[in-house]
Structure 1
Amino acid sequence: MLQSTTRDEAVTPTRDDLPRRLADFATLGDALDYAATGIRGFNFFDARATLVRSYTFAELRADALVQARRLIADGIGVGDRVALIAETGPEFAAMFFGVVYAGAWPVPLPLPTSFGGREGYIEQIRNQLISCDPALVLSPPGLQAMVAEAAAALPHARSEDWASYSEKPAPDAALPQAKTDDIAYLQYSSGSTRFPHGVAVTHAALLNNLFCHASSMKAQDDDRLVSWLPWYHDMGLVGCFLSPVANQMSVDYLATEDFARRPLSWLTLISRVDGHAMSYSPTFGYDICARRVSSQTDAASKFDLSRWRVAGNGADMIRPDVMQAFVDAFAPAGFSAKAFLPSYGLAEVTLAVSVMPPGEGIVIDLVDERLLAGEGHAEAPAEDADRPTRYRAIVNCGKAVPGHTIEIRDEAGELLPDRNIGRVFVSGPSVMVGYFRDEVSTAACLKDGWLDTGDMGYLVDGYIHIVGRAKDMIIINGKNHWPQDIEWAIEQLPGFKAGDIAAFSITTSSGEEAPAVLVQCRTSDPAERANLREAIKSKVRTITGMTCVVELVPPRTLPRTSSGKLSRSKARTLYLSGEIQPFDVAA
């Protein structure tokens, strides 16, 4: 764990005389070697945005080389997996790069903050450890008991905390020379639970995507990154941990759990940037901050967001209403809506697939909801005398990053023209080589260099628009319904927010398919619950024309992925198995 420094320590500088190189290295180790010749680095802050530790890239490299020699002396060989619980701090950073220098493969694994309890966390970690089959598992001291219990399922894996491990001898040793096509690390996608998929990412794929990342953002010498994103998720690991090294940029970090306690500390750090700020978040991060600033709060006196050049948005569906609420809340503090930078990506393509050009902000495409659901077309709403026009706002996520191609295909694999909704396929140098030791899953999504992302979307003049996950689609009487539409409808009712609702399809006792909605309920009054059920049914019927099954469940019941996103598929499984118990209708 981080300890407060005993002296008044300055952050690493934003600017550096070292010539900027945009990830043009053969390996990740080469990238750190170069960054370490400059004066930039990482900076770690506590929940109150107080500096705890500055950590130059030179210090990171020196510590990583010691860890590499320690690992080699401990018998860790080239290609061995070393699982690391990804706590935000210098210990994880040094060990991650130490594993890379040693020729082994680091495997970042999640912290327990996104799980329902101790047993759920142990099960998640156990499944991922069985998948990656590590020689060594390292964790922060406070989590060692849980991690050791999870690792007990692997007879050949040793589990230690990194404080005690760092006391082992580190005699001088020759380091292996990595090649650009070697595997750099394994990344577990946020949906990896019962059947985890370890994405194998080569140095070449990683550095290509880091180049795409920086060039698409038009990186500048006075850019500084601010991040609270977890290091076990691709946006946090690749975009906010590895990219600053490969592109030589100083970073200010707020741990994810500290952001959850004090989200506005994120904006405090951005306000202090002495140049231009770059920072990224899923939609819910912007939502939390906008909700924390009440109408009585003087945002202009608390924050200066005028230098926030890139406010990246991705990792889940981008909601224009939430983005507008953030603008409304923080425009008085100098925030510009043009700073928003929508993107689309996934771990199987390292990180970024598409990015909007900086400065364009959120661009939405208004499409006829009836065509979107029924015919699979995304066309502008048309006035209908017999029926009021309904539309859905789809966010433009930009064009493919350099060297990559996006195609939309139907279920038969045929190319679809613009504004026809189908499965999103991607090809390019950042695509994974496959899932680790899982040829069946690899073959199911990767063929001839083309990745089936599992997402549904459409193209307009080369710009990708994502409408949802194929596996989440609700099909009733041959008509497609997107769960986000149902969930957003309910969120318009008083007292609900994003993440309170999960929509999916079930088979009723009569054998018919029907939409079901699990709604986290905070009232204990039976009459209020009854009224709430009817209000939800009425709202969904108005929006979709369907009668749905409404189940009220206790707060904090709906499951999340390791990155904090709602998992509809897991919610459905837990509901059907009886593990999620709704409130009694009569209660």
Structure 2
Amino acid sequence: MQLTPRATPGLPQILGEFGTLADGLDYAARGLTGYNFYSPRGKLEHVLPFSTLRERAQATGRRLVRAGLTRGERVAIVAETGPDFMAAFFGCQYAGLVPCPLPYTMYIGGREAYVERIAGMLKSADAAMALAPTDLLGHLGEAAVRAGTRLVMSHEELAAIDAGDVALAPFGPGDAAYIQYSSGSTSNPKGVLVTQAAICANVRGILQHGLKLTPEDRAFSWLPLYHDMGLVGFCLAPMMGQVTVDYLATTAFARRPALWLRLMSDNRSTIAYSPSFGYDLAARRVNGHAAELDLSAWRVAGIGGDMVRPDVLETFAAKMAVAGFDATAFLPSYGMAEATLAITFGELDRPIRIDRVDSARYKLSRRAVPVGEGAAAASSSRVRAFVSCGRPMPGHEIEVRDETGQSLGERQIGHVWMRGPSLMAGYFRNEDATREAMGDDGWMNTGDMGYWLDGEIVVTGRSKDLILHNGRNIWPQDIEWAVERVEPLRGGDAAAFSVENREGGEAVVVLVQCRLTDMEEQEDLRRRVAAVVSQTAGVECEIVLVPPRSLPFTSSGKLSRAGARKGYLSGEIAEISKGYLARKLQQAAGPVRMAAGE
């Protein structure tokens, strides 16, 4: 097998100027580029030129029609990183069916939690069919029974249906494209209905404005295809720009993060994205082998999917400088599934812009007051660093508003609203949720907080995660990031949230993943974490040491604070220290919820 090439000589590159996804694939199929899939050990397993994908997709579309599906029905597809998912997703485009990518990996809680999650999505989409790899067919079948989905098949079973000469009726520019389940979906999932017009508008902005794609670009992705950044950013957009993408499955990246960098080095990849935690993992695991890599071709190292961590990016750039990595390749951006994907981009070939503000001022007054470099060095505990995510794409608008809906000025922290041609049609068959998020004037509340900085947006966190303590607003990220710097903790080891105490007020709880087994070392860690929280946020809190891999994360790798809080209150996420539990039992002057979840 040979990798698909970087470009097709003689075929002019068209950057997203198509009316539908099917139109885009029709054009890309005229060239030599496509998708390539690597095994968890880094061996090339599948090569899928866009020309072959088009043939497979059209055959798959005919089989779906022969299976009894009618135009507009929903087809849920477990989004394994491989050719079968691609053929099914694009097969739906040609057959006039609405694909709904489903998570491939299991979540905290094992089989039952996964089945329940998938059943919720199937029911929300009112899916007529569900497709999965053979190894997940049992899980999917159980979920389908709960949701009332009438057809369940493996890709092999679907392929066994005679495609025949069924006439295909692809979606038109005014039709739906797919349903995307946002990363926070749990027992009550909300399906983001994306239209052909919205996906084409977003892709044009990504390719022409955000990435400024060229025929020499080659992308690499380990991002999950059931998440908007993986699906839109590294499946649909590259195809609509006729660019080759090389893939490593998300689970393979989690086991061997450094393999991502080695394959990018081998393939001279130019574009890849990751949340901050991906850069952190890769930098930790590359060890002393960075000098063996060549990352000099990497011109767009995008950051998205979560809050941008400047400390993580600085560490990564320092470690990878020996491999030829240029820190100006970092491209912070901001987006969400409800906006199809991208909303803003930073400037290419420019160092990331870090805004250092007085943390006490922004917590108390909701103003991002800058501090000088000298002040930052003198009192680092009073300084909070944010990264600018750039300006809105052409045709898209952002406003920062206060609680009354009034627009705010420079450096005033408020709720981020957006509108533009990439906006979703709404949450599928969920008018209440759609009405709550979107106004009649076309503006949508993103649920994020942020502020303006010289015409660029700075995102400070999710509004629903704010901790209200004694009249103060406390951003949980501030606590978590400070805690994660305590040795021997790592990024992603802490979750901060509030719970109601017995006086009816709010108490702050911090869950900390602990790998220490000695009780004295555990208690020392607890004391050091408590001191850091007190210094950073000025609050006393309950520090709960929990086992490694206890904290729940979303499909995009974001910490789920709501999930952590729920697990803590239910007792599913429990304290590991017996000494701590004994002390809690002895205290007990009233009905206080204990960390073990009695």
Partners of 2:379 and 2:256 in 1: how far apart?
Answer: 43
Q: Percent identity?
A: 49
Tell me which residue corresponds to 2:260.
266
Q: What does residue 50 of structure 2 align with? A: 57
After TM superposition, list the pairs within 5 Å mapping 1:467-482 onto structure 2: 467-482=460-475
On the 8 A contact 2:546/2:575 being kept in 1, the answer is: yes
Q: 2:285 aligns with which of 274, 287, 292?
A: 292
Q: 1:12 aligns with which of 4, 12, 23?
A: 4
Q: Indicate which of 332, 345, 370 corresponds to 1:380.
A: 370
What do the CA deviations read for 1:157-195 (whole angstroms, capped 9, x no partner)? 211111111101111122114221211000000001111
Q: Whole-Å Cα distance in 1 between the matches of residues 183 and 219 of structure 2?
A: 23
1:167 match: 160
Q: Provide the alpha-carbon RMSD of the alignment.
A: 1.5
- Among 73, 77, 83, which residue is 2:76 paired with? 83
Look up the match of 1:314: 304
One-letter identity of the residue aligned with 2:431: E
State whether residues 114 and 563 of structure 1, in contact with CA within 8 Å, keep that contact through their aligned partners in structure 2.
Answer: no
> Could you say what secondary structure the match of 2:147 adopts?
coil
> What is the alpha-carbon distance in structure 2 between the residues aligned to residue 556 and residue 271 of structure 1?
30
Inter-CA distance 388–289: structure 2 relative to 1 (3 Å threshold): closer
Superposed, 1:129-140 pairs within 5 Å as 129-140=122-133
Name structure 2 gaps, 5 residues minimum: 583-598
Distance 1:155 1:474 in 2: 39
Aligned position for 1:441 = 433
Structure 2 SS opposite 1:489? helix
Alignment match, 1:5 = none
> Secondary structure at the residue paired with 1:175?
coil
Q: Give, as a single letter, the amino acid of the residue that structure 2 aligns with 1:39.
A: L
Alignment deviations for residues 464-496 of structure 1 (CA, whole Å, 9 cap, x no partner): 000000010111111111101101111111011
**Aligned residues of 2:449 and 2:460 also touching (Cα < 8 A):** yes
Q: Output the CA distance in 2 between the equivalents of 1:411 and 1:381.
A: 26
How far apart, CA to CA, are the structure 2 residues paired with 1:436 and 1:117?
28
- Report if aligned partners of 1:43, 1:251 keep a CA contact under 8 Å in 2: yes
1:465 and 2:458 matched: yes
Q: How many residues align?
A: 574
Whichever residue aligns with residue 374 of structure 1, its letter is L
8 A Cα contact 1:227 1:240, kept in partner: yes
For residues 415 and 125 of structure 1, what CA distance do their matches in structure 2 show?
Answer: 39
Residues 243-291 of structure 1, C-alpha deviations (whole Å, 9 max, x = no match): 11111100111111111121111111211235x5100111111000111
Amino acid aligned to 1:31: G
CA displacement 1:336-362 (0-9 Å, x = unmatched):
000000000000000001011111132
* Structure 1 range deviating more: 233-242 or 516-525: 516-525
Give the stretch that moved more between structures: 42-51 or 143-152.
Answer: 42-51
- Distance, in Å, in 2 between the alignment partners of 1:491 and 1:149 is 39
Shift of 1:154: 2.7
State how far apart, in whole Å, the 2-side matches of 1:44 and 1:458 are: 40
Contact 1:115/1:562, CA 8 A, preserved across alignment:
no
User: In the aligned structure 2, how far is the partner of 1:238 from the partner of 1:74?
Assistant: 28
SS in 1 for 2:267: coil
Cα deviation 1:190-232 (Å, max 9, x = unaligned): 0011111100000010011001111121111100001111100
What amino acid maps onto 2:226 in structure 1? Y
Q: CA–CA distance in 1 between the matches of 2:232 and 2:293?
A: 28
Is the CA contact 2:123–2:148 (under 8 Å) kept in the aligned structure 1?
no
Structure 2 residue matching 1:55: 3-state secondary structure: strand
Q: Is the 8 A contact 2:129 2:151 kept in 1?
A: yes
* CA distance in structure 2 between the aligned counterparts of 1:104 and 1:361, rounded to whole angstroms: 43
Match of 1:432 in 2: 424
Asked whether the equivalents of residues 133 and 157 of structure 1 are also in contact (C-alpha less than 8 Å), the reply is no
TM-superposed CA distance for 1:528, in Å, is: 1.6
Opposite residue 140 of structure 1, the aligned amino acid is P
Partners of 2:189 and 2:239 lie apart in 1 by: 28
Alpha carbons of structure 1 residues 103 and 586: separation in structure 2 relative to 1, 3 Å:
closer
Conserved? CA contact 1:273–1:307, under 8 Å:
no
- What's 2:135 paired with? 142
Aligned residues of 2:122 and 2:149 also touching (Cα < 8 A): no
Q: Deviations over 1:289-331 (max 9, x none)?
A: 111133xx1411x210001010011000110110011011110
Q: Secondary structure at the match of 1:153?
A: helix
Q: Which amino acid aligns with 1:199?
A: V
Q: What is the CA–CA distance in structure 1 between the aligned matches of 2:108 and 2:19, rounded to whole Å?
A: 37
Match of residue 232 from structure 2: 238
Between the aligned partners of 1:155 and 1:349, the Cα distance in structure 2 is: 30
Query: How much does 1:511 deviate?
Result: 2.7
Distance, in Å, in 2 between the alignment partners of 1:101 and 1:431 is 23
Cα distance in 1, alignment partners of residues 148 and 260 from structure 2: 42
After TM superposition, give the deviation of residue 562 of structure 1 in Å.
2.3
Q: Of 125, 130, 133, which residue of structure 1 is paired with 2:118?
A: 125
Summarize the alignment of residues 104-503 of structure 1 with structure 2, pairs less than 5 Å apart. Answer: 104-215=97-208, 216-274=210-268, 277-294=270-287, 297-300=288-291, 302-381=292-371, 388=379, 390-447=382-439, 448-503=441-496
Residues 120, 147 of structure 2: 8 Å contact kept: no
Does residue 571 (structure 1) correspond to residue 564 (structure 2)? The answer is yes
The equivalent residue for 2:23 is: 30
Residue in structure 2 matching 1:515, options 482, 500, 508: 508
Shift of 1:506: 1.3
Would the aligned equivalents of 1:114 and 1:564 in 2 still touch at CA under 8 Å?
A: no
Please give the per-residue CA displacement for 1:519-539, whole angstroms capped at 9, x wherever unaligned. 111122222222221111111
For 1:574 and 1:179, the matched residues in 2 are separated by 44
Q: Contact 1:517/1:550 (CA < 8 Å) preserved in 2?
A: yes
Runs of 4+ in 1 over 3 A off after TM superposition: 113-116
Secondary structure of 2:367's counterpart equals coil
In 2, distance between residues paired with 1:401 and 1:439?
Answer: 28
